[in-house]
């Protein structure tokens, strides 16, 4: 941020424990660099919940607006194996999603903290294969553009056409390297 103005003053009341002074800053918040956004990380450890319930929780969190959800194995107290649930949430949704975790899992507490993530530009696209169109993600990487097939779209097409899924996935992948810039 950039400080534009400051001001200070004091009140009329005499306080015994501390001075009655106020200092204010007017600031210009620097814009977030392109390709970065703010997120809140919500995390908890679970050791007394079935894998089926945990799997359903992941799906439900994504449907409820989480940006990403993952589970990692952890060692809990008394040498019990457990799982660490990590949720990336838009900051405005962090309280609601944290409450969702508390209400839909066996955990008795969640940790949260602000974070920043770097993200690549991406958009929906479609790629023609010998068997038909496959929905893809168009991802702008620093060194080119990658088209990656959406799994369920490729799976449906493979089943409809009686083709091995791996062939449809391979046919739908694309890589377009960035043209070199300037003399080499």
Residue spans of the domains in the chain: they are 36-118, 122-177
**Do 140 and 122 touch, CB atoms closer than 8 A?**
yes
Cα(144)–Cα(89) distance, integer angstroms: 28
- pLDDT bucket at 33, cuts 50 / 70 / 90: low
d(CA 64, CA 62): 5
pLDDT of 65 > 80? The answer is yes
Picking from 20, 42, 35, 44, the residue whose alpha carbon sits closest to that of residue 120 is 35
Predicted TM-score (pTM) of the model is: 0.69
Kindly tell me the number of DSSP H helices and DSSP E strands found in the chain.
4, 10
Q: What pLDDT, on a 0 to 100 scale, did the predictor assign at position 184?
A: 58
* Collapsed DSSP state (helix, strand, coil) of residue 56: helix
Are 184 and 165 contacting, i.e. CB atoms less than 8 angstroms apart? no
Q: If pLDDT is split at 50, 70 and 90, which confidence band does 114 have?
A: very high
The C-alpha R_g of the chain, in whole angstroms, comes to 25
Domain spanning 36-118, CATH architecture:
2-Layer Sandwich (3.30)
Write out pLDDT tens, residues 94-107.
999 999 999 999 99
């Amino acid at each position: 941020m950039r400080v534009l103005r400051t001001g200070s003053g004091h009140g009329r009341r005499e306080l015994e424990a501390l001075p009655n002074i106020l200092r204010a800053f007017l600031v210009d918040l620097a814009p977030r660099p392109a390709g970065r956004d703010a997120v809140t990380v919500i995390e908890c450890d679970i050791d007394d919940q079935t894998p089926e319930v945990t799997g359903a929780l992941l799906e439900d969190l994504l449907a409820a607006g989480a940006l990403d959800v993952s589970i990692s194995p952890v060692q809990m107290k008394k040498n019990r194996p457990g799982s660490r649930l990590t949720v990336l949430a838009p900051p405005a949704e962090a309280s609601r999603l944290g409450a969702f975790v508390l209400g839909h899992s066996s955990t008795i507490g969640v940790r949260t903290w602000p974070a920043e993530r770097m993200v690549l530009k991406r958009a929906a696209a479609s790629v023609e294969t010998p068997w038909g169109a496959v929905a893809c993600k168009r991802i702008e990487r620093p060194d080119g553009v990658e088209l990656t097939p959406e799994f369920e779209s490729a799976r449906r097409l493979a089943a409809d056409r009686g083709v091995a899924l791996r062939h449809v996935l391979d046919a739908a992948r694309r890589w377009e390297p960035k043209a070199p810039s300037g003399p080499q």
